[in-house]
Amino acid sequence: MKKTHTLVHLLSKILAFIIRWILRSRYSVSIKGADIVQKNGPVLFLPNHQALTDPIILMSYVYKFSSVSPVISEKYYDVPIAKWYFRQIGAVRVSDLESGNRDTNVLKVITRSVYKGFKRNKNVVIYPAGQLAGHGYEKIFNKKSVYHIVNKIPDDVQIVGVRLTGLWGSMFSKARTPKSPDFFLQLLKGLLIVFANLIFFVPKRKVSLEFVDLTKTAKEQVLLGQKPFNLFLEEFFNVNGEEQALFLKHFFYSLSK
């Protein structure tokens, strides 16, 4: 995880602004707890994972206040051009577990890289579940990465939980099929939908990003062991119960969804 250059940081700010502007055509995003994000790093962000687009939404809004280095699946990290940018911002590349790739060193790679980031005062975002949600609630199962990171996390690192809602039922989620959607195919479909709605008339999906300081509680829960710690995270993400899928219509002139 390398130190982010000033010009790269500026580029990230510009990209985040452009992405937020584009996202407004489809999503109406509300932010809760923004004051937590504005504090000086390092910060460990722990979000739930409803859809393939939520990392883009999260990153673009975090960059309004700060910078962040994400942990990214090789499936997206290795995309040409994007790979150069991910390297510049210090992103951590991990194996794609959904494809069946079982890199036995993935836990060591993640924890080592994240700790290096903290030493350089970097903010890091990592998904505790490590994969897309298969239901309207989050399940961590027996995932170990976040447990190991928090277990020996430096005292100056703030742990922030990110509760995201509103994307369950989108075409980027698993609400319609148990298999993860093809991101690039859905992205192309989404662009066509935007233009078919004359850009300004796209039916909007309401999305909420809530940032909560979990530092004290997470450090207490991690002492109880991996299973209780993962259950603690699940309870945080699922505090409002199972979210019902919202299949929003794609065209403003259509009666069907």
- Whether residue 252 is contained in a domain is answered as no
Domain contains 233? yes
Mean pLDDT of all residues in the chain? 88
Residue 31: CA count within 13 A, CB half-sphere: 15
- What sign for the dihedral angle of Cα 37, 39, 41, 42? negative
Residue 237 has pLDDT above 90, yes or no: yes
248 in a structural domain = no
Q: Is residue 246 part of a domain?
A: no
What's the total number of domains in the chain? 1
Question: 57: closest CA among 156, 199, 170?
Answer: 170
Lowest-confidence region among 17-26, 107-116, 197-206, 215-224: 197-206
pTM, 2 dp: 0.90
Confidence of residue 177 (pLDDT cuts 50, 70, 90): confident
Mean of pLDDT values over 144-159:
94
Look at residue 31 in the predicted model and tell me its pLDDT. 94
Residue 33 within a domain: yes
Domain range for 65 is 6-237
Residue 37 belongs to some domain of the structure = yes
Position 78 pLDDT exceeds 80: yes
The per-residue pLDDT for 99 is: 53
Query: What CATH number is associated with residue 147?
Result: 3.40.1130.10
The more confidently predicted of residues 96 and 164 is 164
pLDDT at 4: 54
Q: How many CB atoms lie within 10 A of CB 140?
A: 22
Residue 101 pLDDT exceeds 70? no
pLDDT of residue 96 exceeding 90, the answer is: no
What's residue 205's pLDDT? 92
Is 90 exceeded by the pLDDT of residue 40? no
Mean pLDDT of 145-152: 94
The stretch 136-140 carries a mean pLDDT of 95
Q: Between these two residues, 51 and 69, which has the higher pLDDT value?
A: 51
Residues 95, 74 contacting (CB under 8 angstroms): yes
Beta bridge partners of 27: 205
Please, which pLDDT band fits residue 156 given cuts at 50, 70 and 90? very high
54 falls within a domain? yes
Q: Is residue 255 part of a domain?
A: no
